[in-house]
Chain A
Amino acid sequence: DSGVTQTPKHLITATGQRVTLRCSPRSGDLSVYWYQQSLDQGLQFLIQYYNGEERAKGNILERFSAQQFPDLHSELNLSSLELGDSALYFCASSASGRPTGELFFGEGSRLTVL
Chain B
Amino acid sequence: DQQVKQNSPSLSVQEGRISILNCDYTNSMFDYFLWYKKYPAEGPTFLISISSIKDKNEDGRFTVFLNKSAKHLSLHIVPSQPGDSAVYFCAAISYSSASKIIFGSGTRLSIRP
Contacts and interface: CB of A to CB of B under 8 A. Distances in A.
Interface of A: 2, 4, 33, 35, 40-45, 48, 55-58, 90, 92, 97-108
A41 B102 contact: no
Given A42-B4, A48-B99, 17 more contacts: A2-B43, A35-B103, A40-B105, A42-B2, A42-B104, A42-B106, A44-B103, A45-B101, A58-B100, A90-B44, A98-B99, A100-B32, A101-B32, A101-B34, A103-B44, A106-B43, A107-B43
B49 interface: yes
B22 to A, nearest CB: 15
Contacts of A58: 100
Contact of B44 (A43, A99, A100): A43
Given A40-B9, A42-B105, A107-B43, A99 B99 contact: yes
Contacts of B4: 42
A97 B93 CA distance: 13
Contacts of B6: 42
Contacts of A55: 98-99
B88 to A, nearest CB: 11
Interface centre among A43, A99, A105, A106 (most CB of B within 10 A): A43
Contacts of B95: 98
Nearest to B97: A56
A100 B34 CA distance: 10
Contacts of B105: 40-42
A107 to B, nearest CB: 5
B34 A56 contact: no
Contact of B98 (A42, A44, A56): A56
A31 B60 CA distance: 29
